[in-house]
Structure 1
Amino acid sequence: MTTVTNAVSPYPLDLSRHARRALLEGPTPIQPLPRLSQELGGVNVYVKRDDLTGLGGGGSKLRKLEFLVGEALAAGADTIVTVGARQSNHARLTAAAAAQVGMQCELVLTRAVPRDDFEYLENGNVLLDDLLGARVHDLPGTANALEFAQARADELRAQGRKVYVCPLGGSSPVGCLGYAACAAEIMTQAHAQGLSFARIVVPNGSGGMHAGLAAGLAALGIDPSLVLAYNVLAKAEQAHATTLEKACATLELIDPARRIDGASIVIDAAQLGDGYGIPTDAMCEAVRLMASKEGLLLDPVYGGKAFAGLVQAARSGRLARGENVLFIMTGGLPGLFAYRSAF
């Protein structure tokens, strides 16, 4: 098993007791966006390029999968089963990680988004799932995907396979360790560049990125309310409760002596629209703005809505002129091809 060790850092976070399989090429860069910053009235916008990862088309979910696949390999698993929506980025990258380490992969995908056009059902991530060799189980939106996955795992175990079941978005406490590590990475890079961020802006879907960042910051003695998340899956109250629970469980794995309180989990509900995976005008504008001003491509489900929140916050004055704001680009580019009709 390949292991990853942290370099010497002013923000050390020791995760060495947790199994980890390297899936990223190294730290992802933090870059300024000067044209966009000017467009937004002088808020200094930076991006953490978690889209710049090579495996399987890249994306933020690889951070979680380093620990999830590491745990699976440590347990001797030869098969990984996970769940998601039809255009799940996590599912695609789970299939890619499984291919790289020589595991079989099965994806339980639900039609949770009310769309039946060809691009959504067959293009984008779904096309790549097939190319990556995963077996896809196509379920209706009302199905309990995790229950199906557990039953399928039992069938495979009866055939002699050793199966690891991965939750929605990879957002177990073990998976969240990937973004705890990212918190230390961000703070180390900011220190090296002489930067201080007023906010770190992210989407909140299954809550794992937000929870991991919160746990990592708390472990470093930094207030987790530095992270501003925009919910894109659940209603804000549910997203808050889920994220807090996962952040606390993740912090328990890192430093049981530290605590996170509810006020430290900051979620803005303004960008959800009609629900998960359903386009909004603000999302479409934000995707076009990022592309036309900086040549960077956001996905329409997660990053597009979160960036729409950043744009609105800058225009309303919630983010002040001269403040440094970090936006985490999560990847998910294949999803754009599934949403052609939205643009």
Structure 2
Amino acid sequence: MTDRLPRVSLANLPTPLHRLTRLSAQLGVDLWIKRDDLTSLATGGNKTRKLEYLIADALARGADCVVTAGGPQSNHCRQTAAAAAQHGLACCLVLGGEPQPPLGNLLLDRLLGAEVHWTPKPNRKSRMQELAGELGAAGRTPYVIPIGGSNAIGAVGYVAAMDELLGQAEEAGVAFDRVVFPTSSGGTHAGLALGAKRAGFGGVVTAISIDAAPTDHAFLEEVAQVATEAAGMLGDSVLISPAELEVEYGYLGGGYGVVGDTERDAIRLMGRQEGILLGPVYSGRGFGALLDMIAQGKVAAGQRVLYWHTGDESALHAYADELLEGDVG
């Protein structure tokens, strides 16, 4: 039913699903990975699935440029710049913080032709709207994409992704007890939660918070609202309540984009055991959280667990010093 909405082709789908054989033996769980780091758009990542619907909506509305926002190493901004370039749209990025050297995703933003605007992090949303107004006054037709592509239109990309996963699992003859993934702006979470409920998924969908604290009650309300709005767009009467959403908040570390032992150890373990690169902001922290959940018994021995790789390894080079800290190799 996700074909009710206009969609452009940006991603190489379906992304691979496979077992992590060495880590499964080491950790005592049946561990699998969904490779959305391989969606292919400008090094890949989960935002590509959302952008298939968001760019289609922008084109349908006659936009000639897109405006979005994120952090200095935003994967969403990188993928938005690439998607815009593919469809002949100008791209303006509002990045929170002070100007930084062109490393990691920042370098890729520039190579993809994006125009970068810096602003204090709390001002990103207002600056996006202000910039869109300036573009409109100059005769352009801007389309504003929220941070992370996290609205109902973008979330539909992950409703489709859950359908894709469950189809692959059925073909492989496996059923997952738990699906684990990192979350920040909440759009991926909204789509997966809705997709799971629509499909009658019998396992648990667990989001690892990258930056939202447990006191941020509005976060779950927003995720539930986005999921419910997405259901309406798909012609479903499915409702998602905040109580249905499972989030682990205990892995915020030093804050968003700050690499510590959790991320560093997880990235090294995945790389050295399975030859897969995780990223420093999302996938490294999310997988580090899953490792801790296994160690604490929150994930029982023998359970079949899927880790959804959301693809942020393009930022690794910007964190070289932090990632190599203490490394004797």
TM-score (norm 1): 0.90
Give the distance between the partners of 1:273 and 1:96, measured in 2 at CA. Answer: 31
Question: Mind listing any 5+ residue stretches in structure 1 that lack a counterpart?
Answer: 1-13
Task: Give deviations 1:25-44, integer Å, cap 9, x for gaps.
Answer: 2200101001111121x201
Alignment match, 2:212: 234
Change (3 A) 1:237 1:64: farther
Aligned residue for 1:279, secondary structure, equals coil
Alignment match, 2:174: 195
Aligned residue for 2:273, secondary structure, equals helix
Give the distance between the partners of 1:38 and 1:220, measured in 2 at CA. Answer: 30
Match status 1:158 vs 2:144 = no
Query: Shift in Å at residue 263 of structure 1?
Result: 2.6
Match status 1:182 vs 2:168 = no
Contact 1:77 1:162 in 2 (8 A): yes
Alignment match, 1:21: 8
Contact 2:96 2:120 in 1 (8 A): yes
| AA in 2 matched with 1:307 | F
Match of 1:298 among 256, 278, 282: 278
Give the superposed CA RMSD.
Answer: 1.5
Give the distance between the partners of 2:260 and 2:235, measured in 1 at CA. Answer: 40
Give the distance between the partners of 1:93 and 1:36, measured in 2 at CA. Answer: 30
Tell me whether 57-66 or 310-319 shows the greater mean CA deviation: 310-319
Contact 1:31 1:46 in 2 (8 A): yes
Alignment match, 2:225: 245
Tell me whether 189-198 or 241-250 shows the greater mean CA deviation: 241-250
Query: Shift in Å at residue 259 of structure 1?
Result: 1.8
Q: How many residues align?
A: 321
Give the distance between the partners of 1:292 and 1:242, measured in 2 at CA. Answer: 38
Match of 2:42 among 48, 52, 56: 56
Give the distance between the partners of 1:245 and 1:305, measured in 2 at CA. Answer: 26
Tell me whether 250-259 or 205-214 shows the greater mean CA deviation: 250-259
Runs of 4+ in 1 over 4 A off after TM superposition: none
Give the distance between the partners of 1:75 and 1:274, measured in 2 at CA. Answer: 41
Give the distance between the partners of 1:151 and 1:240, measured in 2 at CA. Answer: 27
Alignment match, 2:305: 325
Query: Shift in Å at residue 255 of structure 1?
Result: 4.0
| AA in 1 matched with 2:205 | V
Contact 1:109 1:138 in 2 (8 A): yes
Superposition pairs for residues 194-273 of structure 1, below 5 Å?
A: 194-222=173-201, 226-238=204-216, 239-273=219-253
Give the distance between the partners of 1:187 and 1:52, measured in 2 at CA. Answer: 18
Match of 1:140 among 120, 126, 129: 120
Aligned residue for 2:70, secondary structure, equals strand
Aligned residue for 1:236, secondary structure, equals coil
Contact 2:228 2:238 in 1 (8 A): no
Query: Shift in Å at residue 291 of structure 1?
Result: 0.6
Question: Mind listing any 5+ residue stretches in structure 2 that lack a counterpart?
Answer: 324-329
Query: Shift in Å at residue 249 of structure 1?
Result: 2.0
Alignment match, 1:72: 58
| AA in 1 matched with 2:22 | R
Task: Give deviations 1:136-172, integer Å, cap 9, x for gaps.
Answer: 0022334x11211111111111222111000000001
Change (3 A) 1:234 1:206: same
Contact 1:219 1:254 in 2 (8 A): no
Match of 2:18 among 18, 26, 31: 31
Give the distance between the partners of 1:325 and 1:248, measured in 2 at CA. Answer: 26
Contact 1:22 1:66 in 2 (8 A): yes
Aligned residue for 2:4, secondary structure, equals coil
Contact 1:67 1:178 in 2 (8 A): yes
Identity within the alignment, % = 43
Give the distance between the partners of 1:213 and 1:197, measured in 2 at CA. Answer: 14
Task: Give deviations 1:195-244, integer Å, cap 9, x for gaps.
Answer: 10010000011011111101111222336x72111100211342323322
Alignment match, 2:260: 280
Give the distance between the partners of 1:268 and 1:231, measured in 2 at CA. Answer: 6
Give the distance between the partners of 2:160 and 2:195, measured in 1 at CA. Answer: 6
TM-score (norm 2): 0.94
Alignment match, 2:327: none
Contact 1:216 1:251 in 2 (8 A): no
Aligned residue for 1:227, secondary structure, equals strand
| AA in 1 matched with 2:129 | Q
Match of 1:315 among 295, 298, 302: 295
